[in-house]
Amino acid sequence: MDTTTQPENSRAALIVGAGDATGGAIAKRFAKEGFIACVSRRSADKLAPLVDEINHSGGQAHGFASDARKEEDVIQLVDDIERDIAPIEVMVFNIGANVPCSILDETAKKYFKIWEMACFSGFLVGREVAKRMVTRGRGTIIFTGATAGLRGSANFAAFAGAKHALRALAQSMARELGPRNIHVAHVVVDGAIDTAFIRDNAPAMYAKKDEDGILNPDHIADNYWHLHTQPRDAWTHELDLRPWMERW
């Protein structure tokens, strides 16, 4: 990868789980502020529209096919960005894995896979970027959580267990890395998000969009940017985002 044109003060924002809604909106928000958006998901082809949109709008973006559940993939991803693109100043972990299933029918294989996606991969990426940030004495790490990280609902045992663990990981990292000038935050996203999936599969819920009853990905992204720009004398560790009409 040719990086000869990159200025010395280039900064990268790594978004792991850069989907078509929240992850993509976060990538575009940081690119708008001058960051090089490094977006990752298992399929590189699915990243092409997002990368093209950012680059065509005047920002910079690079897409990476990487399985965040695999340690070797994560190490390679972080090494490649740090070597070829720019220092990772911000990392956003945004992998979901919200798969409902009765505990009576849940399989060990699927339970373990959900934990790998929603928690273990967060540990791998968080560890690797933290190693780089600590040497520089700065950085922001944000984990996307869910209501399942606060309470376990019926039929979501696997997802709730993984999200509880992710929240605990974020707390532990914040307590260890905060004194080293690394801002670690956990965002509880409580409510339906404006996505094609909600539009096509939950039309009654999607109809609440006109009443601001579902979350706008761009507004979620604004909050992630705000977390990054907070002065360190008033850092937020946990932030709850939910529509005004959402029950909680």
Measured CA distances, 214 to 92, 203, 240 (Å): 22, 12, 14
Q: Which residues contact 128 (CB under 8 A, 6 or more apart)?
A: 74, 75, 77, 78
Does residue 212 sit in helix, strand or coil? coil
Q: What is the pLDDT of residue 96?
A: 86
**pLDDT tens digits, one per residue of 79-120:** 999 999 999 999 999 998 999 999 999 999 999 999 999 999
What's the pLDDT score for residue 19? 85
Q: Mind listing the pLDDT tens digit for each residue in 29-88?
A: 999 999 999 999 998 889 999 999 999 999 999 999 999 999 999 999 999 999 999 999
Do the beta carbons of residue 177 and residue 171 sit within 8 Å?
A: no
Query: For position 1, what pLDDT does the model report?
Result: 47
| Mean pLDDT, residues 135-156 | 96
Q: What is the pLDDT of residues 225-247, one digit of tens each?
A: 999 999 999 999 999 999 999 98
Q: Within its chain, how far is the Cα of 3 from the centroid?
A: 25
Tens digit of each residue's pLDDT (9 = 90 or more) over 178-216: 999 999 999 999 999 999 889 998 999 999 999 999 999
Residue 106 C-alpha from the chain's centroid: 26
User: What pLDDT, on the 0 to 100 scale, is given for residue 4?
Assistant: 45
Asked if pLDDT for residue 137 goes beyond 90, the answer is yes
Spell out the domains of the chain, with CATH numbers in brackets: 12-241 (3.40.50.720)
